[in-house]
Amino acid sequence: MRRRAVGSSDLITKVNVVPIIDVSLVLVIILLVTAPLMSVADLPVNLPAAHTRDAEDERNISITRTATGELAVDEHRVTEAGLAAVLRERLARRGDQNVLVVLRADTSVSYADVRRLLALAKAAGAKRIAVATRQRTEVSP
């Protein structure tokens, strides 16, 4: 009877996929966390405060108006004349017909300007429109 040596050098013939899966899952989590942050323009906006705010959907179309008058749709800067065309193009994409269009306007932007932007969004085909606000942090007694 032959005895097998305890320290024999058997070749490893299988690939250990557990580390690959771990790294892949970490990358997916990082992607899921950072993707919604990349769809909003990096223009500085001081949003008005509100008592409540619904959770934002990651597929929202964001219209941003700054205090200086700059305008952006998601991360792309546009002119007011080109806003309707850009919105029509975005809303015409497959699956984006009922997406929420969120207007992010600085607190110093006039109500007439906000109303005009909302009317432009509605004319471009937006069915669901909202105005973004800053959530007020209140201390409960």
Delineate the domains of the chain, giving CATH numbers in brackets.
Answer: 40-135 (3.30.420)
Which ranges in 7-60 belong to alpha helices (H)?
18-34
pLDDT of amino acid 14: 83
pLDDT of amino acid 57: 46
Residue with tokens 């690939």, as numbered in its chain: 15
Q: What is the pTM of this model?
A: 0.57
Q: How far apart are CA 87 and CA 82, in angstroms?
A: 9
Q: The tokens of 75 are what?
A: 């991360």
- Cα–Cα separations (whole angstroms), residue 28 to 17, 19, 33, 35, 89: 16, 14, 9, 10, 29
Q: How far apart are CA 68 and CA 43, in angstroms?
A: 10
Per-residue pLDDT tens digits of the chain, which is 141 residues long: 555 555 567 787 888 889 999 999 999 999 888 877 776 667 777 777 665 545 454 578 889 999 898 899 888 899 888 888 888 888 888 777 788 889 999 888 888 999 999 999 899 888 888 888 876 665 555
